[in-house]
Amino acid sequence: MKPSGSLELSVLGLLKERAMHGYELRKQLGAMLGPFYQVSWGSLYPTLRRLARAGAVATLEVPPPRKPSRSLKQPKNTSLGTGRRKTVYQITPAGEELFLRMLEETAAAVDAEHFTLKLAFFRYLQPEARVALLERRRAYLQEKLAQFRANLRTYRERMDSYALSLQDHDMRSTESDIAWIDELITKERGPQEPRPNTSNI
């Protein structure tokens, strides 16, 4: 089950790109966020309905494409283009505002899933907002790393080799994530402008 608001954020973010129907939305979610982010139809369509009721998403019924005729003579009681209509979803101005509010919220940016979703749409944020979210995530990871080290100091003698290996793996992963966040922050802040040489003035 996805945390509250995470699916709404990702759906609105994708609809900012272009209007899509449900199948395409589900496919794009997997393509953008990876195979571990699986969205069921039982989650996606209720989310779309909630967004539509809130005025964040509008729906449009699109008729199926017309099939080319293979013969000049058509059987009686047969019409071209028969088939099931598709419901296409598009973001509204209210949805644009909701998306930006959810994206800028820093309180829900620390856990891995919320952070991953926000990072996928970082291009819509101002640089200072991106840095604030990255710093919040880094502080969260640094706190987790400190907890791992404290647990090892306290419980190392009670752990077998498998538990120690797991702790070591988690610590290495956390350290790697912190280094990655540091790189992102450095890139966001950009190179420092060289100071003018005033020694000869």
Closest Cα to residue 115, out of 188, 170, 30, 181? 181
Query: What are the two backbone dihedrals, phi and then psi, of residue 59, each rounded to the nearest 5 degrees?
Result: -115, 150
21 forms bridges with which residues in the sheet?
A: 88
Q: How confident is the model at residue 68 (pLDDT cuts 50, 70, 90)?
A: low
For residues 76 and 150, the model is more confident at 150
Name the E strands within 22-159. 57-62, 86-91
Q: How confident is the model at residue 3 (pLDDT cuts 50, 70, 90)?
A: very low
What is the Cα Rg of the chain in Å?
Answer: 25
- pTM comes to 0.73
Q: Could you read off the pLDDT of 112-161 as tens digits, one per residue?
A: 878 888 898 999 999 999 999 999 999 999 999 999 999 888 888 889 99
Q: Could you read off the pLDDT of 78-119 as tens digits, one per residue?
A: 444 455 778 999 999 999 999 999 988 866 667 887 888 889
**How far apart are alpha carbons 146 and 136 in whole angstroms?**
16
Q: How confident is the model at residue 40 (pLDDT cuts 50, 70, 90)?
A: confident
At residue 201, the pLDDT reads: 41
